[in-house]
């Protein structure tokens, strides 16, 4: 199977958003914001470790990432869970995401800013549960969001939709 390229306007907009955030590292260096690296983990995932990947702008995959079967979908929120593969070169083949081989995804019609703001909002919400294992569970815009935080500093690491 050949390598799959992303070409959509919304994917390009998401990549521009990520590049812009790279230049704002100092501004993003607040405990309730994801760092540019963690934002990239949430949006695109990491091909070298085959982790992350929770956002498909307009329902399109980023380059070297693809979803397979959609396993569950919440039609009310637009959140869904799907099998995920990353293209690894070498060895030059598609490989499943580490762990259970799947991810949950933010609604396809959300902008990069909406995803970023929802994770921040859910993490900052006083009703959010922060668990002793470094995970947290909150909600923003009707979407349950789970993620991880630094146990030493209390800073947000990242978040993803929870089904």
| pLDDT tens track for 20-49 | 876 665 565 677 888 889 999 999 999 999
Long-range CB contact pairs, 135-139, < 8 A, 24+: 137/162
Q: Which of 109, 112, 134, 133 is nearest to 123 (CA)?
A: 134
Residue 57, token pair as written in the block: 């702008």
Domain ranges of the chain: 2-161
Instruction: Quote the CA–CA distance of 103 and 125 in Å, as a whole number.
Output: 24
3-state secondary structure of 97: coil
| pLDDT tens track for 49-65 | 999 999 999 999 999 99
Q: Give the residue ranges of the chain where pLDDT is below 70.
A: 1-7, 22-29
Share of the chain above pLDDT 70, in %: 91
């Amino acid at each position: 199977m050949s390598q799959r390229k992303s070409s959509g306007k919304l994917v390009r907009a998401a990549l521009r958003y990520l590049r812009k955030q790279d230049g704002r590292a100092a501004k993003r260096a607040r405990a309730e914001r994801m760092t540019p690296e963690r934002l990239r983990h949430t949006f695109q995932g990491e091909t070298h470790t085959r982790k992350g990947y929770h956002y498909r702008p307009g329902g399109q995959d980023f380059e070297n990432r693809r979803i397979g079967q959609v396993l569950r979908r919440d039609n009310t929120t637009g959140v869904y869970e799907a099998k995920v593969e990353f293209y690894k070169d070498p060895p030059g083949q598609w490989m499943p995401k580490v762990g259970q081989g799947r991810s949950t995804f933010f609604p396809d019609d959300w902008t990069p800013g909406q995803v970023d703001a929802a994770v921040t909002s859910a993490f900052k919400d006083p009703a959010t549960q922060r668990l002793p294992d470094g995970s947290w569970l909150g909600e923003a815009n009707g979407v349950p969001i789970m993620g991880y935080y630094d146990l030493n500093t209390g800073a947000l690491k990242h978040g993803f939709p929870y089904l």
